[in-house]
Amino acid sequence: MLEIKNLNVHYGVIHALKDISLTVNAGEIVTLIGANGAGKTTTLRTISGLNKATSGEILLEGKNITALSAPQRVEMGISQVPEGRRIFPAMSVLENLELGAFLRKDKSEIKKDMEMVYERFPILGNRKKQLAGTLSGGEQQMLAMGRALMSRPRILLMDEPSMGLAPLLVREIFKIIKDINQTGTTILLVEQNASMALSIAHRAYVIETGSIVISGTGEELARSNEIQKAYLGGE
């Protein structure tokens, strides 16, 4: 579904991504793990059109989207749950969700999707009139996920969904990510919590200082001594 070929990204003189290549097949959860500053967020932001590629290609179902704007990519089915959630705090839960569907015109389908979001995240249904800024961290993460789902993505980019959440909530968020994938949405997941990410991922890539250094199935990487030492707190 998504293919990245020899992608390079610069921030001024800093070479942030160096010839990155990766693929995400339809129906998969693929995770990108690595240390802080390795280039994980830059990869997602470049796929969604928020950062410009210096060179290389981004293909969605074979179509080159490297030159398209971020809104055009949303229309084509790419949606991002950003790092730090980035909900609109002074707007209600309902208004945040409506903004997720801002490019859509199919009112009756939008209504159906809103019901689906409330079914998946009952707390949002209970708090639809509440200001988003008054929600807890976990609720804001659910709102950010619900908002992204309102654009009906074919591929969902998720950046650090477990950041700052209590362990119990982290498990719940990962269960929801798995459920979203099982109902047909392809997911590219960036996550600091490598063991949780690898436990649900079909495949995984490890990024170090802007380069992909290892790839394999989630299971293979979870078993790898090298990965355990570097990312899973193993000896």
Burial 1-29 (b: 16+ CB within 10 A, else e): bbbbbebbbeeeeebbbbebebebeeebb
Burial 70-87 (b: 16+ CB within 10 A, else e): eeebbeebbbbbbbebeb
In a domain, 28, yes or no: yes
Number of domains present in the structure of the chain: 1
pLDDT in tens, 37-47: 899 999 999 99
Q: What is the DSSP string of 145-206?
A: HHHHHTT--SEEEEE-TTTT--HHHHHHHHHHHHHHHHTT-EEEEE-S-HHHHHHH-SEEEE
In a domain, 107, yes or no: no
User: Can you count the helices (H) and strands (E) in the chain?
Assistant: 10, 10
pLDDT in tens, 64-115: 999 999 999 999 999 999 887 889 999 999 999 999 988 788 888 899 999 9
In a domain, 158, yes or no: yes
What is each CA distance from 61 to 64, 144, 148, in whole angstroms? 9, 25, 20
User: Residue 227 pLDDT more than 90?
Assistant: no
In a domain, 128, yes or no: no
pLDDT at 95: 95
pLDDT in tens, 161-209: 998 888 888 998 999 999 999 999 999 999 988 999 999 999 999 999 9
Residue 24 tokens, joined: 């995400």
Edge-to-edge strands, sheet with 211-217: 78-81, 155-159, 186-190, 29-33, 203-208, 211-217
In a domain, 195, yes or no: yes
| Domain assignment of residue 164, given as a range | 2-85+152-231
User: Residue 234 pLDDT more than 70?
Assistant: no
What is each CA distance from 76 to 48, 65, 186, in whole angstroms? 11, 9, 14
In a domain, 137, yes or no: no
- Kindly report the CATH number assigned to the domain that includes residue 204: 3.40.50.300
What is each CA distance from 131 to 97, 110, 162, in whole angstroms? 12, 21, 22
In a domain, 189, yes or no: yes
pTM over 0.85: yes
